A = this chain, B = another copy of it.
Amino acid sequence: MTSHVVKTRLERSNTSGLRNEAGRPTAAVNQLSRAKKLAKSLLSERGEASGAIVARELHEVLRILVAEDRSNFQRFLATDFAPDATIVCAAAETYLSDPSAEAAALLAQATDPPRQELLRRMNMAPGGTSALVAMRKEIAGRLRDAPTLRLLDSDLKHLFASWFNRGFLQLRRIDWQSPAAILEKLIAYEAVHEIHGWDDLRRRLAPDRRCFAFFHPALPDDPLIFVEVALVEGLAGAVQPLLVQDSDDDAARNRAARADTAIFYSISNCQVGLRGISFGNFLIKQVVEELKNELQHLTRFSTLSPVPGFRRWLTKRLASTSDPAAALLARIETGAGRLDTPKIDDSETSNGPYLMRLACGCRNPSSLPRRTSLAALRDQTRKRIALVHPLAAPSWTAPANHHLNPTESRFALGLNESFATHYLLSRHGRHSCGEEFSWP
């Protein structure tokens, strides 16, 4: 502990005092400039000797900044910790004159922004990871207006991709034995089929349901992503029956005992601040393994995933063609928005696969996979329960012992992944669009 730290400790009582007068311009300015000083000090601290203490100090100050000052501080981070131009220039010239591996390494070192090291040191404080994830979430809303923040955003994403590496994630089953502090986050974060309070949640965690989430050790109470699974007999044709409340635990246990199919009916990313870091892929694969181990009579693993952007695409396509599915679409539309959409009769069901092909086609018409199965025609963007077509076969179906070929695999996974990352934002009021979805 240096004398500097001792001093800032004394100031801490002032900090608490200022909490109540945060509106006063002078105090606020002082706090902002103090945050900047602490950031510089954190980076300069020799030997990282007191990094954790300075970092804690810095987070405490940041917490009491008003929104504008916080934004100011973020721009300060984005602009004031660039690599030293002289050094980079020298290293670049060296490399150009002799592009050896060593020269590349030196150049990489020279261009490594001090900003990243500063962020790493901010992570040393208790709660540091959580604060940085929250910072990136805040930045996300300002990127359009403050493009200068993009470098900061990019550095945070780079660090998070490293810190939230699959090797560090912990899979946990979530059930009615889980802490309420975690369960209430499921209610808050569920992005596909809204959870209507605690009774509804209890149904999602009944004995014929499974819920798994990834956690990171530094965010022990905060799931990163979670998936909800229904254990059923035969393929589920629609999501509604899976969401019906049923308080009979014994009956649910019996259903689970007879189940041969696991339907992954909802998956939600939880952290806007971790946007762009991919978890869904790993989660689904590991949950399939877990379920296989627990319930050895399961033979099918399916999803009921909606295809982002499908509806818009379909509407556009059908409007401009004399597609034989046009009539079907009309019928579908009729039932839209209602829970009691009449089941389309058998003769029409034969159009199902075609619809599915359409669904795939909407992504890349020219590369329609030969063997696909997918669907889901819910108007996700408006969060209505409006499954237009209770498809006979769900979106992705594969027997447990059948290994998907690469195309299938990428398709199915891309699908799941996409709508998870996709709808997070739509839930939080921002526009949901299919464009940002990229096929693997």
Q: Does A151 contact B (CB under 8 A)?
A: yes
Q: State whether A113 touches B108 (Cβ < 8 A).
A: yes
Complex: A88 Cα to B101 Cα, angstroms? 11
- The winner among A5, A170, A181, A414 for most chain B CB atoms within 10 A is A181
Q: Which of B2, B124, B161, B405 contacts A406, CB < 8 Å?
A: B2
**Considering the complex, which residues of chain A in the window 155-211 have a beta carbon less than 8 Å from any beta carbon of chain B?**
159, 161-163, 165-168, 170, 176-181, 183, 197-198, 202
Q: State whether A46 touches B163 (Cβ < 8 A).
A: no
Q: Does A125 contact B (CB under 8 A)?
A: yes
Q: State whether B406 touches A168 (Cβ < 8 A).
A: no
Interface 9-mer from A278-286, A306-314, A315-323: A278-286
Complex: A47 Cα to B407 Cα, angstroms? 13
Q: Does A326 contact B (CB under 8 A)?
A: no
Q: Mark A392-416, 1 if CB is under 8 A from B, else 0.
A: 0000000000011110011001100
Q: State whether A168 touches B176 (Cβ < 8 A).
A: no
Q: Does A89 contact B (CB under 8 A)?
A: yes
Q: State whether A101 touches B128 (Cβ < 8 A).
A: no
What distance in Å separates the Cβ of A364 from its nearest Cβ neighbour in chain B?
15
Q: Does A332 contact B (CB under 8 A)?
A: no
Q: Does A290 contact B (CB under 8 A)?
A: no
Q: State whether A46 touches B96 (Cβ < 8 A).
A: no
**Considering the complex, which residues of chain A in the window 74-115 have a beta carbon less than 8 Å from any beta carbon of chain B?**
79, 82-83, 85, 88-89, 92-93, 95-96, 99, 101-102, 104-105, 107-108, 111-113
CB contacts (< 8 Å) of A178 on chain B: these are 179-180
Given contacts A47-B281, A167-B129, A413-B49, contact A108 B105 (CB under 8 A): no
Q: State whether B151 touches A46 (Cβ < 8 A).
A: no
Complex: A112 Cα to B111 Cα, angstroms? 9
What distance in Å separates the Cβ of A285 from its nearest Cβ neighbour in chain B?
7
Q: Which of B3, B51, B217 contacts A217, CB < 8 Å?
A: B217
Complex: A129 Cα to B165 Cα, angstroms? 10
**Copies of this chain assembled into the complex:** 4
Given contacts A49-B440, A95-B92, contact A163 B162 (CB under 8 A): yes
Q: State whether A168 touches B281 (Cβ < 8 A).
A: no
Complex: A95 Cα to B95 Cα, angstroms? 12
Closest residue of chain B to A202 (Cβ to Cβ) is B180
Q: Is the interface of A mostly helix, strand, loop or mixed?
A: helix
Closest residue of chain B to A101 (Cβ to Cβ) is B82
Q: Mark A239-279, 1 if CB is under 8 A from B, else 0.
A: 00000000000000000000000000000000000000010
Q: Count how many chain A residues have C-beta atoms less than 8 Å from C-beta atoms of the other chain.
A: 79
Closest residue of chain B to A162 (Cβ to Cβ) is B162
Complex: A161 Cα to B5 Cα, angstroms? 24
Q: State whether A49 touches B281 (Cβ < 8 A).
A: yes
Q: State whether A124 touches B79 (Cβ < 8 A).
A: no
Q: State whether A405 touches B3 (Cβ < 8 A).
A: yes
Complex: A79 Cα to B104 Cα, angstroms? 12
Q: Which of B83, B108, B165, B278 contacts A83, CB < 8 Å?
A: B108
Q: State whether A104 touches B120 (Cβ < 8 A).
A: no
Given contacts A46-B440, A120-B165, contact A154 B105 (CB under 8 A): yes
A-B contact pairs, 15 of them (CB 8 A): A2-B409, A3-B404, A4-B406, A46-B410, A83-B104, A102-B151, A105-B113, A107-B107, A107-B111, A123-B168, A125-B167, A163-B165, A168-B168, A177-B181, A179-B179
What 9 pairs across the A-B complex have the smallest Cβ distances? A108-B111, A217-B217, A124-B166, A2-B406, A92-B92, A47-B440, A123-B167, A6-B403, A177-B179
**Additional A-B contacts beyond A1-B285, A47-B438 (5; CB < 8 A):** A47-B278, A52-B166, A85-B104, A124-B282, A176-B179
